[in-house]
Chains A and B, each alone.
Chain A
Amino acid sequence: MPKLIARRILETIPVLFLVATITFFMMKAVPGGPLDTEKNIPQEIKVQIEAFYGLDQPLWKQYASYMGNLLRGDLGPSFKHANRSVNELIAAALPVSLELGGIALCIALLVGIPLGIAAAVRQNTWIDYLASTTAMAGICLPTFVMGPLLVLVFALHFEQFNASGWDFARDRVLPALTLGLVYAGYIARLTRGGMLEVLNQDFIRTARAKGASETRVVFRHALRGGLLPVVSFLGPAIAGILTGSFVIETIFNIPGLGRHFVTSVFNRDATLTIGTALFYAALVVALNLAADIAGAMLNPKQRAN
């Protein structure tokens, strides 16, 4: 087990290196730079600005110094947001995105798991069909359809919520719901599949034969194994919730990391793009790692070796 964890941690190094390198050269390849604004900047000033940011250096030197700074955890200054470093921007936006993602994940789990259990326990009854169809609806309605529709109904028609913004507690409801329901659908499907598989196994029959109540069989014996697929899905799910926030934060005008990433791409703010991309990558990699380890701990077969 420690060997597995050590191997997985070592594997993340080439991944992060790859992300940093690819994003760096991609942003350099983008036609037009951060300084090409509408206004004509005098040539001398432009040269000075470029020298300040190190843009006059040959490419390999820029790359070397960027990677050097990266090792020290410094993501550099933003090109567009004057006098602010990428680190500061990320630090300011991260709590917002984490809050949104955290609530969404709770919604996904609290809706998805019970729905999946109900469907599995009452397989091939109307409860199952209803739960499965609801789950499919959650999966098939992408966030950028669900979000605007929720706004249309609850913000514009019933006027219960603000259509956008992130100022009041109730502003969290619609975005988190939009983001969470999609993953609730996936989690319900996985829970149903996992539970069905476990419920057909011998030890469940044994438990029933010994007179355990149905509740005890489901929650005490089956649930632990049945949730395994959900646990291994959590890594990708959290990654998806994080990237899903690109759209959600754009729709609802939320000052989080996802919106920073999208606007920085449009602004050609290279350092901010690379910084957020790297940060996302590191987050995704770390979460996948955590999900793998949690899955291995829950699975007795893997725990043994």
Chain B
Amino acid sequence: MSATAPASSALAADAVEPGRSLWQDAWARLRRNRMAVIGGVVLLVLTALSLFGPLFVAYSYEEQNLGLGAAPPSAAHLLGTDKLGRDQLARLFFGGRVSLLVGLAATSVSLTIGVLWGSIAGYAGGKLDAVMMRIVDILYALPFTIFVILLMTVFGRNFILLFVAIGAVEWLTMARIVRGQVLALKRQEFIEAAVALGLRKRRIVLRHVVPNVLGPVMVYTTLTIPAVMLLEAFLSFLGLGVQPPMSSWGLLIKEGAEQMEEAPWLLIYPAVVFAATLFSLNFLGDGLRDALDVRASKD
């Protein structure tokens, strides 16, 4: 559990040597974690490539060249082409945009639902809390992958729906974490002290509650993004997610796996890039957890 130094804000005036804040501390610790730093850098590079890479490729992700077919990497097509003669590098960049976008958007959906649900339950307490958390318990027991698959069949393979469906699945753990944090915080002395000092509610929430909830939420968010990207890729692999001629890393892996015998480059590049992204996100999440000293707890 991470607690901000309670007194530093109000009384012990700034005359004293300025202490290091929770975040400065965490940042220093994070920077010492080599795997987390490498993960962060890899992520930045991959994001930059996905965003700006398409500007530097002469082909678009959907431009076909049927005469060419599935050609191995060459000077004209650095990573080769797929069976419709589409440039693999362009599709990989564009797929990165889609996969990262799904990761971020679906995570925001789950973040919003989870934080709201958890903080309301934790703050209200009593019967409302009991009912809300029982709902979470019941939903936890449902095999959600099956529902996402059903949702995608019922409403067609809609891009926006993909965000919502995945986000709606992944908020449960977040709700539990936030509720636990809020419950624990309500009883902490430094919150009582802040109340006793007559601080305004707004200041208590912004200065004392939010920073303490933010750590675990941030850590869990970093770990949700790879889970979400994995689910998107899983759906696309089964043919239920992103549809061609659009591109996503999951879809590219699927297409690559279909012809890995004749054209292994179609499988290997997207697989490596996707795995590297998941690796980086997980290492960064672990590093953040250690840096912010968050204990993973279920409730």
A residues adjacent to B (C-beta < 8 A): 11-12, 14-15, 18-19, 22-23, 26-27, 29-31, 136-137, 139-142, 144-145, 147-149, 151-152, 156, 239, 243, 246-247, 250-251, 261-262, 265-266, 273, 277, 280-281, 284-285, 288
Contact present for B150 and A144 (CB under 8 Å): no
Contact present for A11 and B142 (CB under 8 Å): no
Could you give 14 example pairs across A and B, Cβ below 8 Å?
Answer: A11-B137, A11-B141, A136-B279, A142-B278, A144-B254, A148-B260, A148-B267, A156-B261, A246-B145, A247-B234, A265-B240, A277-B146, A277-B150, A280-B143
Contact present for B150 and A265 (CB under 8 Å): yes
A139–B283 Cα gap in the complex (Å)?
Answer: 11
Q: Given that A144-B254, A288-B141 are contacting pairs, would A27 and B279 also be in contact in the complex, using a CB cutoff of 8 Å? A: no
A19–B253 Cα gap in the complex (Å)?
Answer: 31
Contacts of A285 in B (CB 8 A): 141
A22–B260 Cα gap in the complex (Å)?
Answer: 38
* CB of A189 to closest CB in B, whole Å: 9
Question: Interface range on chain B: under 10, 10 to 19, 20 to 34, or 35 or more?
Answer: 35 or more
Q: Given that A284-B141, A288-B141 are contacting pairs, would A149 and B154 also be in contact in the complex, using a CB cutoff of 8 Å? A: no
Interface majority SS on A: helix, strand, loop or mixed?
helix
Instruction: Identify B154's interface contact among A15, A26, A151, A246, CB under 8 A.
Output: A26
Q: Is residue B27 within 8 Å, beta carbon to beta carbon, of the partner chain?
A: no
Contact present for A262 and B238 (CB under 8 Å): yes
Contact present for B278 and A15 (CB under 8 Å): no
Instruction: Identify A142's interface contact among B146, B147, B156, B234, CB under 8 A.
Output: B234
A62–B101 Cα gap in the complex (Å)?
Answer: 41
Contact present for B154 and A29 (CB under 8 Å): yes
Residue of chain B at shortest CB distance from A143: B234
Q: Is residue B113 within 8 Å, beta carbon to beta carbon, of the partner chain?
A: no
Q: Is residue B275 within 8 Å, beta carbon to beta carbon, of the partner chain?
A: yes
* CB of B272 to closest CB in A, whole Å: 9
Contacts of B278 in A (CB 8 A): 139-142
Residue of chain A at shortest CB distance from B277: A140
A152–B279 Cα gap in the complex (Å)?
Answer: 22
* CB of A260 to closest CB in B, whole Å: 12
Contact present for A152 and B282 (CB under 8 Å): no
Contact present for B275 and A140 (CB under 8 Å): yes
Q: Given that A136-B283, A152-B267 are contacting pairs, would A144 and B138 also be in contact in the complex, using a CB cutoff of 8 Å? A: no
A148–B263 Cα gap in the complex (Å)?
Answer: 13
Contact present for B141 and A12 (CB under 8 Å): yes
Listed residue (B137, B149, B256, B282) with the most chain A CB atoms within 10 angstroms of its CB: B149
Contact present for B146 and A247 (CB under 8 Å): no
Listed residue (B145, B146, B153, B154) with the most chain A CB atoms within 10 angstroms of its CB: B146
Residue of chain A at shortest CB distance from B271: A145
Contact present for B238 and A281 (CB under 8 Å): no
* CB of B196 to closest CB in A, whole Å: 35
Contact present for A152 and B142 (CB under 8 Å): no
Those 8 A-B pairs whose CB atoms lie nearest each other, nearest first = A148-B257, A140-B278, A144-B237, A243-B145, A145-B271, A140-B279, A15-B141, A26-B150
Contact present for B253 and A18 (CB under 8 Å): no
Contacts of A266 in B (CB 8 A): 153, 239
Residue of chain B at shortest CB distance from A144: B237
* CB of B237 to closest CB in A, whole Å: 4
Contacts of B274 in A (CB 8 A): 142, 145
Q: Is residue B183 within 8 Å, beta carbon to beta carbon, of the partner chain?
A: no
Q: Is residue B264 within 8 Å, beta carbon to beta carbon, of the partner chain?
A: yes
Contacts of B282 in A (CB 8 A): 136, 139-140
Instruction: Identify A144's interface contact among B141, B143, B226, B233, CB under 8 A.
Output: B233
A86–B275 Cα gap in the complex (Å)?
Answer: 38
Contact present for A261 and B146 (CB under 8 Å): yes
* CB of A31 to closest CB in B, whole Å: 8
A226–B140 Cα gap in the complex (Å)?
Answer: 25
Contacts of A147 in B (CB 8 A): 257
Contact present for B143 and A243 (CB under 8 Å): yes
A156–B254 Cα gap in the complex (Å)?
Answer: 17
Contacts of B234 in A (CB 8 A): 142, 144, 247
A251–B237 Cα gap in the complex (Å)?
Answer: 10
Q: Given that A151-B260, A152-B260, A250-B238 are contacting pairs, would A145 and B146 also be in contact in the complex, using a CB cutoff of 8 Å? A: no
Contacts of A140 in B (CB 8 A): 226, 275, 278-279, 282
* CB of B155 to closest CB in A, whole Å: 8
A19–B139 Cα gap in the complex (Å)?
Answer: 10
Contacts of B164 in A (CB 8 A): none
A265–B145 Cα gap in the complex (Å)?
Answer: 13
